[in-house]
Amino acid sequence: MARRKATARMSKKKEVEVEEASTSSASVAESEAEEESDTNDHSEEEEASDVQSEEEEEGSDEEVNSSDEESSGEEESDDESPENSDDVNTDSVGQNEQCTFDLGNLLSFNTHQVNAAELYRGGSMKNNLNKEWYELRPPTIEASKASALPNPVNESMLLAKAAEGTTQLLRELWKLPTEKTDLGLLAKLPTAETRLPRMLPPPPPKQLTKWEQFALQRGIAPKGKQSRKVFDEATGEWKHLTGSLDNKANAGPESWPILEVKKNDDPMQDPWEKLREEKKSRVGKNTESRMRNAERAGNLEKGTANRMMKNVKKQEKQKVLMRQKEREMGLVAPVGVPVDMRSGGEKAQRGKPSTQLALKATQTSTASLGRFDKQIEGEPERQLNKNTKKRKLDPSVTGNTNKKYLQTEAQKSQDILSKVMNGSKQKDKDVKKGKYAKGETAYDYDFDDGLGSGSFKKKKGRAGAGKMKKLTKKRIM
């Protein structure tokens, strides 16, 4: 405040100069700063001049204003001042109130207390007598509605306060350091001080997974980002860490033609089979733990993981049982190690049955499952699979003449009729969707509403859509 007063004294002198001669904008700023002191006499004049000069300043690109504009502005305000200073109650208007600023957000805060009596003074005739016509009209559309309220607010006072705040803000902006760019003169805004509130509620905190909880507990640091490719010493290539198995680089030991038998391994076990099974179990475990984590976080319904596991186990059991059954029934050739070399346990099936089964297996082990292969001389006939399920034909396709069917049919038609007569919900939905023609009258159903064909298709698939006909003159009807 002390600084301000000093400048005020200085600027009083300077203000005289301003009115007569040209000045730089800095001095103009100082003269305007005088407004912040408690001189009320010239306050209206100053505000007017301030507003005018502000407008002029905004128009120009340079900091230094041209002398002509300013002096003209000052002269104009000179004329107005004798009239205005007596009439308007300038105490109520917030010239004295210095605002605080947050230039980063282009905000100016006027935190001074509002005089309640002033605020609700509203439209008393005394005040309105000497006011200009533009002061009497409410400044905003909402204000005109607000004046109809029981406690009308002094809108003009609020507007004056707002104008004051804006001018002060603009003044501050002009004080900022500037840079010249191809767009013009730009002011460098400081970093924003006020934190604006969130528009939407914050997202709920993420649930930690089981591993993350454990790591937190034990103080294990997270792994950190891995590069996508890794240099493989053996092949001298850069291989992806993750990716499809089609890529030879990612295939792993399953693709190796030879696998060594280690000490603890069973020599009779298929190592590739073993690898496949291990991978399956790993994948299953992974999906299960992911599901459980999701359940804990609330993203998945509780109990789905258990259900899935049960299902998977059931299916696997069924598969195993089926295979066993087939083997027992003699429908499938024994796989894996040849019969001779098997070490007890299973019944050794030597002789005709096993040979027949083996032949059957080889006959169907082609891409087309043996359908188009040529038979060699003496090869027994290919036996088609007897296990194909017989399809149950729809009674609507076969002759449906038995009484029971007719009864049910009558019942069904009754139900449909009741739906039609009583206006089913589905129909209302369809009308809304636009499936029915525009209008609800009978005649409209034959009307071509231009919406195209309905859902009835005589044939399935593309054939049902109908032939696409070339649009000729004749067809444009």
Partner 1 sequence: MRPLNEDETKTLFQKLAEYMGRSVERLINRSDERHCFRLIKDRVYYISESVMKSSTSINKDNLLHCGTCLGKFTKSGKFRLHITALDYLSQYSKYKVWLKPSAEMSFLYGNNVLKSGLARITESTPQYAGVVIYNLADIPLGFGVAAQTTDACKELDPTANVVLHQADVGEFLRGLEDDMF
- Residue 476: CB minimum distance to partner 1, A: 19
Q: Which of 227/441 has CB closer to partner 1?
A: 441
Burial of 6 (0-12, 13-18, 19+ CB in 10 A): exposed
Q: Could you give the 3-state DSSP secondary structure of residue 5?
A: helix
Contacts of 221 (CB under 8 A, 6+ apart): 215
- Residue 392: CB minimum distance to partner 1, A: 17
- Specify the stretch interacting with partner 1 by CB under 8 A; choose among 86-94, 340-348, 385-393, 407-415: 407-415
- Specify the stretch interacting with partner 1 by CB under 8 A; choose among 142-150, 192-200, 373-381, 398-406: 398-406
- Specify the stretch interacting with partner 1 by CB under 8 A; choose among 10-18, 92-100, 191-199, 400-408: 400-408
Q: Which of 383/414 has CB closer to partner 1?
A: 414
3-state helix, strand, coil split of the chain in percent (to 5) is 50, 5, 45
416: contact with partner 1 by CB under 8 A? yes
Q: Which of 176/416 has CB closer to partner 1?
A: 416
Q: Which of 113/453 has CB closer to partner 1?
A: 453
Is 230:239 a contact under the CB 8 Å cutoff? yes
- Residue 469: CB minimum distance to partner 1, A: 13
Place of tokens 């043996």: 370
- Residue 451: CB minimum distance to partner 1, A: 10
- Residue 445: CB minimum distance to partner 1, A: 6
Query: Could you give the CA distance from residue 44 to residue 50 in angstroms, rounded to a whole number?
Result: 10
Q: Which of 219/399 has CB closer to partner 1?
A: 399
- Specify the stretch interacting with partner 1 by CB under 8 A; choose among 187-195, 215-223, 372-380, 403-411: 403-411
Query: Could you give the CA distance from residue 294 to residue 296 in angstroms, rounded to a whole number?
Result: 5
Contacts of 159 (CB under 8 A, 6+ apart): 139
Contact string (CB under 8 A) for partner 1, positions 418-437, x = contact:
-xxx----------------
Is 325:318 a contact under the CB 8 Å cutoff? no
- Residue 391: CB minimum distance to partner 1, A: 17
- Specify the stretch interacting with partner 1 by CB under 8 A; choose among 50-58, 166-174, 313-321, 413-421: 413-421
Place of tokens 């599901």: 291
409: contact with partner 1 by CB under 8 A? yes
Q: Could you give the 3-state DSSP secondary structure of residue 318?
A: helix
Using CB under 8 A, pick the residue from 277, 307, 400, 428 that binds partner 1.
Answer: 400
Q: Which of 175/457 has CB closer to partner 1?
A: 457
Q: What is the DSSP string of 230-290?
A: EEETTTTEEEESS--TTSGGG-GGGG-S-----TTS-TTS-HHHHHHHHHHHHHHHHHHHH
Cα-flanking dihedrals φ and ψ of residue 285, to 5°?
-60, -40
396: contact with partner 1 by CB under 8 A? yes
For residue 400, give both structure tokens: 């449906």
- Specify the stretch interacting with partner 1 by CB under 8 A; choose among 5-13, 108-116, 222-230, 411-419: 411-419
410: contact with partner 1 by CB under 8 A? yes
- Specify the stretch interacting with partner 1 by CB under 8 A; choose among 128-136, 174-182, 205-213, 416-424: 416-424
Size of the site for partner 1 (CB under 8 A): 30
Sign of CA dihedral 113, 116, 122, 126: negative
Contact string (CB under 8 A) for partner 1, positions 443-472, x = contact:
xxxx-----xxxxxxx-------x------
- Residue 211: CB minimum distance to partner 1, A: 53
- Residue 433: CB minimum distance to partner 1, A: 15
Query: Could you give the CA distance from residue 364 to residue 371 in angstroms, rounded to a whole number?
Result: 8
- Residue 410: CB minimum distance to partner 1, A: 6
Helix axis angle for 2-20 and 25-33, nearest 10°, is 120
* Cβ density class 280-301: b for 16+ within 10 Å, e for less: eeeeeeeeeeebbbbbbeeebe
113: contact with partner 1 by CB under 8 A? no
- Residue 244: CB minimum distance to partner 1, A: 45
**H helix runs in 175-225, sequence order:** 210-218
Site for partner 1 in 151-210 (CB under 8 A): none
Of 51, 17, 6, 57, the C-alpha closest to 32 is 51
Q: Which of 306/400 has CB closer to partner 1?
A: 400
Using CB under 8 A, pick the residue from 319, 412, 429, 438 that binds partner 1.
Answer: 412
Using CB under 8 A, pick the residue from 192, 245, 406, 463 that binds partner 1.
Answer: 406
Query: Could you give the CA distance from residue 81 to residue 197 in angstroms, rounded to a whole number?
Result: 44
Cα-flanking dihedrals φ and ψ of residue 288, to 5°?
-65, -45
- Residue 473: CB minimum distance to partner 1, A: 23
Q: What is the DSSP string of 349-382?
A: --SHHHHHHHHHHHHT-STTTTSSPPPPTTPPPP
Query: Could you give the CA distance from residue 291 to residue 287 in angstroms, rounded to a whole number?
Result: 6
Residue ranges that bind partner 1, judged by CB under 8 A: 396-397, 399-401, 406, 409-410, 412-414, 416-417, 419-421, 441-446, 452-458, 466
